Chains A and B, each alone.
Chain A
Amino acid sequence: MAKIVVDVMLKPEILDPQGNAVASALPRLGFTFATSVRQGKRFEIEVAGEPTPAQLAEVEKAAEVLLSNPVIENYVVRVEK
């Protein structure tokens, strides 16, 4: 079954204190690879059968209206097999 995935991330210019907290916790555990961490949200939406273009358009609309706040967040809609 296909899944529609919506990834929501804070816009780059918006301060992300949660991401910063994760970034500063990593080196305390010996993980020194990160120069920056941003934290976001992932929505997994199941539909019956293959998603149709009409359904994807509806999901785009839902992402704009409810799943994200366009003032502070960006979103990406994709289909995951």
Chain B
Amino acid sequence: MRVGVVTFPGTLDDRDAARAVRAGGSVAIELWHGDADLKNVDAVILPGGFSYGDYLRCGAISRFAPVMTSIIEQANKGMPLLGICNGFQVLCESHLLPGALTRNSDLHFLCKDQVISIENTNTPWTSSFSKGQEILIPLKNGEGSFQCDDATLASLEGEGRIIARYVGENPNGSRNLIAGITNTRGNVVGLMPHPEHAIDTLTGPSADGLGFFTSILNAMVK
């Protein structure tokens, strides 16, 4: 299976994301922000970093990159799409996911290993997990506080679209401890912490993050 990993100017985690894709059993395809060609990929990952320097708002300028036009079009047709950290911010700015990621409530940039619980295992990115499974993966962001209005929050809760929550103390002020959400269709997932940095214990705090990348292979083989 071919999983595209997008590089914007300022992206940091594209190499780790590509490595995680390979570790999960798929082929990683490099996609460039300025090129609308998705190279026949089956799924796309928007990795973490500081695309366009986080100028204006995180993800606000990336949303209009040529590659995003094709990605939004394909995602609306059901292509699996995962945005991690800055990628999650791009998905919210693109309106593929509701809400917005705002400055951490304590203003500090966070960099720590974080326990999250997987709440929805019906997406193509989370099917390798069991519901309620707690995993340990890195969390590193300055603007990771998930905010939305009450009606949006109620629909996310009611429709089971919160795919992961922080366990323990709220690290960044996110509403209802939200670490990740999905769209109505379930093919687009945004996640603030970083599974691609936790695919083996040599380089990460655990191998728990690998599940996101084995999930996508399973989803596409089915």
B107 close to A18 (CB less than 8 A): yes
- Indicate with 1 or 0, residue by residue over A12-31, a CB within 8 angstroms of chain B CB atoms: 01110110010000000000
| Alpha-carbon distance between A15 and B143 when the two chains are bound, in angstroms | 12
B100 close to A72 (CB less than 8 A): yes
How many residues of B sit at the interface, in one of the four size bands?
20 to 34
A15 close to B148 (CB less than 8 A): no
Q: Which chain B positions have C-beta within 8 A of A18?
A: 103, 107
Number of interface residues of A (CB under 8 A): 12
B103 close to A17 (CB less than 8 A): yes
Q: Is B102 an interface residue (CB 8 A)?
A: yes
User: Which residue from A17, A69, A71 sits with its C-beta under 8 Å from B105?
Assistant: A17
A17 close to B104 (CB less than 8 A): yes
B107 close to A69 (CB less than 8 A): no
B60 close to A66 (CB less than 8 A): yes
Q: Is A37 an interface residue (CB 8 A)?
A: no
| Alpha-carbon distance between A71 and B151 when the two chains are bound, in angstroms | 12
A71 close to B107 (CB less than 8 A): no
- Given A15-B105, A21-B107, are A69 and B57 also a contact pair (CB < 8 Å)? yes
Interface residues of chain B, those whose CB is within 8 Å of chain A, are: 56-57, 60, 64, 92-93, 98-100, 102-107, 145, 147-149, 173
